[in-house]
Amino acid sequence: MYLKKPSLVSTSWHTESLLFSLSLSLSLSLSLSLSLSLCISHTSLCFKHTHTHTLSLSLTSRKVTMLAMKPHSLQYPNSKLCSITPKRSRNHVSLNPVRMQQQTQTRIHRLIEEQGIVLMPGCYDALSAAIVQKTGFTAGFISGYALSASLLGKPDFGLLTPPEMAETARFVCAAAPLIPIIADADTGGGNALNVQRTVQDLIAAGAAGCFLEDQAWPKKCGHMRGKQVIAPEEHASKIASARDAIGDSDFFLVARTDARATSAKTGLSDAISRANLYMEAGADACFVEAPRDDDELKEIGRKTKGYRVCNMLEGGVTPLHTPEELKAMGFHLIVHPLTTLYASARATIDILKTLKENGSTRGHLQKMATFEEFNQLVGLESWFDLEARFSNVKTSTSKSA
């Protein structure tokens, strides 16, 4: 009797079906009643409240019944600093990070441990960064507000781009190599994926950290009206993405929230809740922008976790304090982002008015740096020394020839 050999196509189909069934936990039974077990992943954008459920479904005729639900843990690939285990709550899945015992200690961490509190003036170009370093400060900050003004001549209204900040950071860090410089990453340039490139570009530029805020794009200065914020879970995913991009780099991540301005009644409590969520997602420090008075500053100091940043903006909504006063309230990093910009603008306006009125700066030279002072500031003599060094090498080579 002739027996027909099994079809190669048929055998291959059954093999693939078996593998497919094993990988998806799919059990098929061709009978009057069809039962199957499906693994359905419902994952939000990047790391935002990611949750995976195994649903066992019984399909009989048109009726679908859920039999079981089981959450699965998730660990971020290539991240040595945190892992996320999704956890069910009443309304959503919450982030529940597990920090590694050995977290990278950055230059900013060490400064805080050594000094107790760190004062960071703003610098918006290489020259202002060199001045910050030369006057003895141990850290500096590149403000998006200041860079929008100095580079574009525009307000802080969402007009500055991440590549422009990264390019400026490269010049600033080169001009002040002895101190760590933190850059303002604004909203990170988009979603959690864009944040990865923004952070990597800043690391490549030499920055020692960044601020990453939860405003909706286009963003505005934290002390301006009309701000909106994204969902806290969405920003937590951006923080987790930034942490993944940082890896073992010497880079300090500050999570900023602008939620205080969104509601007179609940804005502060919402901002504190967001700050703590962002810390759980992987930030090194939290920054509640634009508290209105000392009571709010103290409440932030009491109720937020980890290191805290405070913004001292001349003319802003937050009262000005000394570092020691803010340290007593629970803060660790004090930023004066616009002091140098405002001082430079005022001095420039005043001297140009004088020049316009008198046609000369004679009699007003005390308002300006001298020729010698400025040349010393930019290290002119070291360049003369370098020129002489290589000129001598060239001369002796010529003589020997």
Q: What are phi and psi of 85, to 5 degrees?
A: -110, 110
Are both 207 and 299 inside the same structural domain?
Answer: yes
What single letter denotes the amino acid at residue 144? G
Per-residue pLDDT of 140-181, as tens digits, reads 999 999 999 999 999 989 999 999 999 999 999 999 999 999
Residues 6+ apart with CB under 8 A from 10: none
Query: How far, in Å, CA of 39 to CA of 53, rounded?
Result: 7
Angle at 222 between CA 342 and CA 82, to 5 degrees: 120
Domain holding 244: CATH number? 3.20.20.60
Per-residue pLDDT, 265 = 77
For position 400, what pLDDT does the model report? 56
Asked if 235 and 375 sit in the same domain, the reply is: no
Nearest to 337 by CA among 176, 63, 139: 139
Residues 301 and 216 in one domain: yes
- Beta carbons within 10 angstroms of residue 5's beta carbon: 7
Judge whether 285 lies within some domain: yes
Whose structure tokens read 């059954």?
Answer: 14
What integer pLDDT is reported at residue 220 of this predicted model? 65
Q: Is the peptide bond before 162 cis (omega within 30 degrees of 0)?
A: no
Dist CA 205 CA 224 (whole Å)? 29
In a domain, 280, yes or no: yes
Statement to judge: residues 191 and 156 lie in one domain: yes
Domain residues for the domain of 359 are 345-385
In a domain, 50, yes or no: no
Whether the pTM exceeds 0.85: the reply is: no
Task: Identify the sign of the CA torsion 165, 167, 173, 176.
Answer: negative
Residues 6+ apart with CB under 8 A from 118: 108, 111, 112, 138, 139, 332, 333, 334
Rounded Cα distance, 221 and 278, in Å:
20
Look-up of token digits 């909504």:
317
Helix (H, G, I), strand (E, B) or coil at 120: strand
Do 363 and 286 sit in the same domain of this protein?
no
Distance of CA 252 to the CA centre of its chain: 8
- 334 with 363, same domain: the answer is no
Domain count, the chain: 2
Asked, for residue 94, whether it belongs to a domain, the answer is: no
- 183 and 246: one domain? yes
269 and 230 belong to one structural domain: yes
Is 69 inside a domain boundary?
Answer: no
278 and 362 part of one domain? no
HSE-up of residue 186 (Cα within 13 Å, Cβ side): 27
Q: Which of 334, 288, 347, 290 is nearest to 315 (CA)?
A: 290
Backbone angles phi, psi at 150, to 5 degrees: -75, -35
Rounded Cα distance, 96 and 222, in Å: 29
Cα separation, 192 vs 296, in Å, equals: 30
The reply to whether 228 and 277 lie within a common domain is: yes
Residues 351 and 334 in one domain: no
CB 225 within 8 A of CB 316: no
What whole-number distance in Å separates Cα of residue 310 and Cα of residue 291? 9
Q: What confidence score (pLDDT) does residue 263 get?
A: 77
Q: Does 239 fall in a domain?
A: yes
Q: Do residue 183 and residue 322 come from a single domain?
A: yes
Give the residues of the chain that fall short of pLDDT 70.
1-104, 220, 222, 224, 226, 393-401
- What burial class does residue 270 get, using C-beta atoms within 10 Å of its C-beta: 0-12 exposed, 13-18 middle, 19+ buried? middle
Residue 90 lies in a domain: no
Q: Judge whether 143 lies within some domain.
A: yes
CA distance 233 to 239: 10
